[in-house]
Amino acid sequence: MITITKEWKENHHYDALFIGIHEKEELNSWLKTIDASFNENISKLYQEKQIHTKLHEITKIHTFGQMQTKAIYLVGLGKKEKWNSSDLQQALGKVTRQAAQEKVKSVAIDVESFFVDNESQEKNIHLIMESIGLALYKVETYKENSHNESYSFESIEMIHEGANENWVDYAQKGLVFSEGTNLSRRLINIPGNLLTPTYLAEEAEKLAQKHGFEVEILEKEQMEELGMGALLAVAAGGVEPPKMIVLKYQATDEWEDVLGLVGKGITFDSGGISLKPGLKMHEMKGDMGGAAAVLGAMDIIGQTKPKRNVLAVIPSTENMPSGSALKPGDVIRAMNGKTIEVRNTDAEGRLVLADGVSYAKQLGASELVDVATLTGAVLVALADCTTGAITNNKEWFHKVEEASEEAGEWVWAFPTHKPYHDLLKSSDVADLNNAPGRLGGSITAGLFIGEFAEETPWVHLDIAGTSWASRASHTGRAGGTGVMARTLAYLAEQTK
């Protein structure tokens, strides 16, 4: 339960009170009031530098019955002039995780002490609650005595003298964005033997039932009728049946001006005949991070209800080696009729997305974004903190970029000069080469998908570096990050 109040009252009971404090700043009015109840011992601690104010440092002060609040968590925010929304998320994330570990149930927050100056009050409230929701996410485990129950605060009170009743809506929206992101994270973290294309389709059907979406799940026979030869070729090596998953959110009377979101749904990627090295192959359960981002975004969209029609398309299969698997040198035909020479079966994501993008266009998408854990090369170029992008329309890319900035998820556009396009045509036997070489690998991979977007405004987002975290952060554990779920949700809002 989230409540808003304009003033802090000493006789209100909370398990914890969160207050942010910047370096070299005086105690704020709240702390001065509280200090009086402690015979000014808090200010003495501050003067003696026993209250830590560097970024992400936390000082916990037990009240020992001097006030109804059990403990005060003073959160170091670092230098005021450097404070930004990313720091806010990390700082709130850290104190939230500590409080959750200590089984805190009721929390009060001096929200103004965490505000970022260049953000609106609405956005600050959203960020505070989103950060708390992200930090409370727990990775499920499968150990014999596992306890996977999610933890949440029973009540959160946001205190600010300028608060108004709309703040509850802003706070709830922040939680909705965290919930959608956490759905993406949960899906990515599920082992590949459990999260199959069939399971992914069932998750989409649950979302459809929850939000009233129209849902369509194409089976292998239907894909064959539609000529989805690229998706079916990747699926040929596995025993799990492929699925083409479709969700439709219709906001207007007419199915027009449709935002198409296409997510790569490879539920496990062995590399196929072009087998991957064994080291870290277990992380390839997360090769459906694009699909997870799209489903997370649809969960947010189903609750925020933007005024734009949104189509989600997820081509899903495993990529496995077997006697029936796709082979290097094979020539396949995609749904739009183009032929592809397969030089590398580990370049399978672009193949399934070829049919996914073509199907999204057939279903009426007027603008497209595809999201995929597509290339290891993007990690070399941009590390694990920035998503790589390819586009055929700069104006459309700028809208996607604006949404990513609103979400705090960095995106960088690669060049798309003619020589990169020419590399795709380097096959002597087919229209396209799916793996023309290491040079410009992230660029040629994205441009390959663009061959199927054709003239439709399109942006490709390569999240191979950003979808998986090898180490924990203050807003989450190692594993799936849910990156781009929030960006796509903001995009649906901003392109009405």
Asked if residue 348 belongs to a known ligand binding site, the reply is yes
Answer for the pair 77, 87: CB distance below 8 angstroms, yes or no.
Answer: yes
Choosing from 350, 361, 399, 486, which is the catalytic residue? 350
Q: What is the DSSP letter of 201?
A: H
Task: Give the distance from CA 418 to its chain's centroid.
Answer: 32
Specify the length of the chain in residues. Answer: 496
Answer for the pair 232, 223: CB distance below 8 angstroms, yes or no.
Answer: yes
Q: Is 350 a catalytic residue?
A: yes
What residue type is assigned to position 226 of the chain?
L
Location of structure tokens 């009060």: 108
Q: DSSP assignment of 329-387, as one string?
A: T-EEE-TTS-EEE-S-TT--HHHHHHHHHHHHHHTTEEEEEEEE---THHHHHHTTT-E
Q: What's the rounded Cα separation, in Å, for the pair 417 and 435?
A: 18
Of the candidates 263, 304, 316, the one whose C-alpha atom is nearest the C-alpha of residue 484 is 263
How far from each other are the two terminal CA atoms of the chain, in whole angstroms? Answer: 31
Asked if residue 214 belongs to a known ligand binding site, the reply is no
Q: What is the DSSP letter of 180?
A: H
What residue type is assigned to position 59 of the chain?
T
Answer for the pair 265, 218: CB distance below 8 angstroms, yes or no.
Answer: no
Answer for the pair 266, 350: CB distance below 8 angstroms, yes or no.
Answer: no
In 3-state terms, what secondary structure has residue 196?
A: coil
Answer for the pair 441, 356: CB distance below 8 angstroms, yes or no.
Answer: no
Choosing from 79, 206, 220, 276, which is the catalytic residue? 276
Asked if residue 9 belongs to a known ligand binding site, the reply is no
Answer for the pair 491, 369: CB distance below 8 angstroms, yes or no.
Answer: yes
Q: What's the rounded Cα separation, in Å, for the pair 445 and 54?
A: 43
Asked if residue 169 belongs to a known ligand binding site, the reply is no
- Radius of gyration of the chain from its Cα atoms, rounded to whole angstroms: 24
Asked if residue 117 belongs to a known ligand binding site, the reply is no
Answer for the pair 299, 213: CB distance below 8 angstroms, yes or no.
Answer: no
CA dihedral sign of residues 107, 112, 122, 399: negative
Q: Give CA angle at 25 (48, 52), nearest 5°.
A: 45
Binding residues for Mn(2+): 264, 269, 287, 346, 348
Catalytic residue numbers read: 276, 350
Binding residues: 264, 269, 287, 346, 348
